[in-house]
Chains A and B, each alone.
Chain A
Amino acid sequence: MRNIKEERNEAWRADLRAQIKVKERMMAPRIHMPEQDAMERSHNNKEVNLGLTAEQAIVEARRCIDCPDPTCMKGCPVSIYIPGFIKQIETGNFLEAAKVLKETSALPAVCGRVCPQEKQCEAECIYVRSGKEPVAIGHLERFAADFERESGQISVPEVAPANGVKIAVVGSGPAGLSFAGDMAKLGYDVTVFEALHEIGGVLKYGIPEFRLPNNIVDVEIDNLRAMGVKFITNCIIGKTLTIDDLKEDGFKGVFVGSGAGLPRFMSIKGENLVGVMSSNEYLTRVNLMDAASDDSDTPVFLGKRVAVIGGGNTAMDSVRTAIRLGAERAMIVYRRSEEEMPARKEEIKHAKEEGIEFMNLRSPIEFIGNAQGRVTHMVLQVMELGEPDASGRRSPVEVPGETETIEVDEVIVSVGVSPNPLIPSTVGGLKISKWGTIEVNQDTMQSDIPMIFAGGDIVRGGATVILAMGDGRKAAANMHAWISN
């Protein structure tokens, strides 16, 4: 464990602080992430955010005043040593910065791209309290991880001597990968079992290339392999192998990070028409199966008028994918107003710049099809905001008699996911909540079957990548403590 206070007092850090006055640091404006031009990027699949240059990263790193009590770290679900890596960037020691990041995060290049920093680390940055823009922690994290990857000098985190204890991980999404990384560091013999043919879970099938290129995910997975983590694809725990099989094979602990992959539908008329699909299906076809490429055998509809139902990040990913695949009209249909949208502000902004239409305060009540059963129209009920509900959000209510009918040839339903019942239902004796999530002790992530821990969406329902990673870390620390006792 690092002693953050002591490290801050090391000579190089003190010197660095002395070089520029705090006042001066705080005067500098936040560096903005260079982006691909909106019109250009809406026709390609390349990353939207281009990353900071080394010069930009150093300038941004200077803004961090190296607080004695770094509040930013409290906002990070995996407690990355934020001032530690940022100060390394300020001195130009980028590889060391990457090393610091990897001590606590198995996937820094991923987190730097997809975490909602504005709600986490950056929300706790001291600057926010004085009304200034926070230090761009996420952009700096991404910079350090990218720099290391591109340098070809990728460091492998230190791993404790092998202790010979076998641990199984169910699912290779962010929760499982983060858990696997921490357990490998502690010297465990870790095997990750994945149902699909690719490692990465939602990082591969869900989040599109223009936000998170698959090759970047692969490099971080290779890093885990270098630490000794084994991966087995095409293997469903509960079906191909049972937990009892794992026990018989000598596994001492199991971490279930199988996610919340089951898409929800709205149960309205016409929802099973051809051309209406879940965002999971659409994004899996495009991202995992590469369906839009000529050399892929998997087909996908290339709709001209595409409506995406929902207002979360998955809805934004889907609608922005649709416009990249040639849609003339790509629409977000959301039953509340933009204020209430759960998607990241940055994603909404990017979507708007790319020409996405936002139909807020609209809720589909029916899809209409032609003789071949293909969707041709959607009927939308106009809504208005009523009184705040129990969660404090103003709930949408119908405006009686006001509907709109709009031409569509593809509809993507992105109204949320439920925990996939496949794992919970096949692991005998596991305590399941009424929402289908696995019940665990919130402090330890341990289920009522002691050898089974769980985390991520299978415990939370649909949440974020970083919360899943935080659960993975917490579960690893607690499983280690449980096994050590």
Chain B
Amino acid sequence: MNKIVSKEYFSENVIKFEVEAPLIARSRKAGHFVMVKVGAKGERIPLTIADADTSKGTITLVVQRMGVSSSKLAQLNEGDEITDLVGPLGQATHIENFGTVVCACGGVGTAPMLPIVAALKAAGNRVITVLAARTHNLIILEEQMKKNSDEVIVMTDDGSYGNKGLVTKGVEDVINREKVDMCVTIGPAVMMKFVSELTKKYEIPTVASLNTIMVDGTGMCGACRVSVGGRTKFVCVDGPEFDAHQVDFDEMLMRLGGYRDIEREEMERFTCKTDSKH
């Protein structure tokens, strides 16, 4: 169950796993996610399904080493098993022919964007992907994005690769140049907030895939709740994708920071333990 069949480093801290999960591979659609738990005392964390291969019965997960749980997952190797893996969860992305779609993604948000880009392209859209990261070696999946998009615009904060500037600059350049019918954004919450503010100004419908804190991922607890259009929604069952212009990103950012101190302490303890083993 849940055996890792391949592990590939996109960068030092961003890792791609191909995991055996034939049932999930068969039933998942773009936009779906899984909950993952590593070890008996592990935490349940959400990860979007980046790809699936039904013939091999595998799904692809991309994990960025951030805290204890993602680090534990990142330490697993080919042949290891993920203790618990459940899905596919959430609502699938709504795909249709919108016309021209800008897909704005940043950092590890690029991985879950890939199946959406592919599905949008397959539905006949003109797809322009804006791929952003802090610096050159954090740009991932550029080739795959190129294969599935009409155009890929790369942005780095420090200008070490592609164009210099934030993701919003890339998006705005496209808007100034041609008619955009739709925007999809996945990345850090603060990035999605600014993409949303930008497209709101231009009145371009925008969907954001939210990455809130989750516990069960099945609608049981409400840890993942967000305000959308003034009403409380559960990201795990109502989302993860919502009309970005209706999302209260400030509240979401505040809730995401809720465990920051505990997370930092846990990470320090974890790093100490790991270091002392070597």
Enumerate chain A interface residues (CB-CB to B < 8 A): 195-197, 205, 233-236, 239-242, 261-263, 265, 267, 271-275, 277-278, 280-281, 284-285, 289-290, 293, 295-299, 372-374, 420-422
The reply to whether the CB of B272 lies closer than 8 angstroms to some CB of chain A is no
Within 8 A of A (CB), among B76-95: 83-89
Query: Chain A contact residues: over half helix, strand or loop, or mixed?
Result: loop
Given A239-B27, A275-B258: A267 touches B221 (CB 8 Å cut-off)? no
Residue of A nearest to B84 (CB): A197
Given contacts A196-B216, A297-B43, contact A234 B85 (CB under 8 A): yes
Could you say which residues of chain A place their CB within 8 Å of the CB of B258? Answer: 274-275, 373-374
Q: Which of B15-33 contact A (CB under 8 A)?
A: 23-24, 27
Given contacts A274-B258, A299-B266, is CB(A240)–CB(B221) below 8 Å?
A: no
- Which of B110-118, B195-203, B249-257 lies at the binding interface? B249-257
Interface set of B (CB-CB < 8 Å, partner A): 23-24, 27, 37, 39, 41-44, 68-69, 72, 83-89, 215-216, 218-223, 225-227, 232, 237, 251, 254-255, 257-259, 262-263, 266
List of A residues within 8 angstroms of B27 by Cβ: 239-242
Chain B residue contacts of A278, Cβ below 8 A: 221-222
Residue in contact with B220 in the complex, picked from A197, A263, A273, CB distance below 8 Å: A263
**Sample (10) of A-B pairs whose CB atoms are under 8 Å apart:** A197-B37, A236-B89, A240-B23, A240-B27, A240-B86, A263-B220, A265-B222, A274-B258, A295-B41, A372-B254
Per the bound structure, the CA–CA distance linking A197 and B220 in Å amounts to 14
B218/A234 in contact, CB under 8 A: no
Contacts of B44 in A (CB 8 A): 197, 289, 298
Q: Of B89, B220, B232, which is within 8 A of A420 by CB?
A: B220
A284 to chain B, nearest CB (A): 6
Contacts of A235 in B (CB 8 A): 23, 86
In the complex, chain A residues whose CB is within 8 Å of the CB of B263: 299
Q: Are B219 and A262 in contact (CB under 8 A)?
A: yes
Cβ contact within 8 Å between A234 and B257: no
**Is the Cβ of B86 less than 8 Å from the Cβ of A236?**
yes
Find the B residue at minimum CB distance from A266.
Answer: B232
Docked Cα-Cα span, A263 to B88, in Å, equals 22
Cross-interface CB contact of B254 among A236, A295, A373, cutoff 8 Å: A373
Q: Report the minimum CB–CB distance from B139 to chain A (whole Å).
A: 30
**Are the C-beta atoms of B259 and A195 separated by less than 8 Å?**
no
Q: Once the chains bind, are B222 and A234 in contact (CB under 8 Å)?
A: no
Q: Which of A267, A274, A277, A295 has the most CB of B within 10 A?
A: A274
Whole-angstrom distance between the Cβ of A193 and the nearest chain B Cβ: 11
Contacts of A196 in B (CB 8 A): 86, 216, 218
- Per the bound structure, the CA–CA distance linking A151 and B44 in Å amounts to 36
Is A234 in contact with B84, judged by CB distance below 8 angstroms?
A: yes
CB closest residue in chain A, given B259: A299
Complex Cα gap A236–B33 (Å) = 13
Give every chain A residue within 8 A of B86 (Cβ-Cβ).
Answer: 195-197, 234-236, 240
**A205 / chain B contacts, CB cutoff of 8 Å:** 220
**Best-buried of A195, A235, A267 by chain B (most CB within 10 Å):** A195
Q: Which residue of A lies closest to B251 (CB)?
A: A272
Check if A293 sits within 8 Å of B220, measured CB to CB. Answer: no
Please state if B266 and A297 are interface contacts (CB–CB under 8 Å): yes
Task: State the 7 A-B residue pairs at the shortest beta-carbon distance, nearest first.
Answer: A373-B254, A281-B221, A297-B43, A274-B258, A261-B220, A234-B86, A299-B262
A233 to B226, CA, bound (A): 28
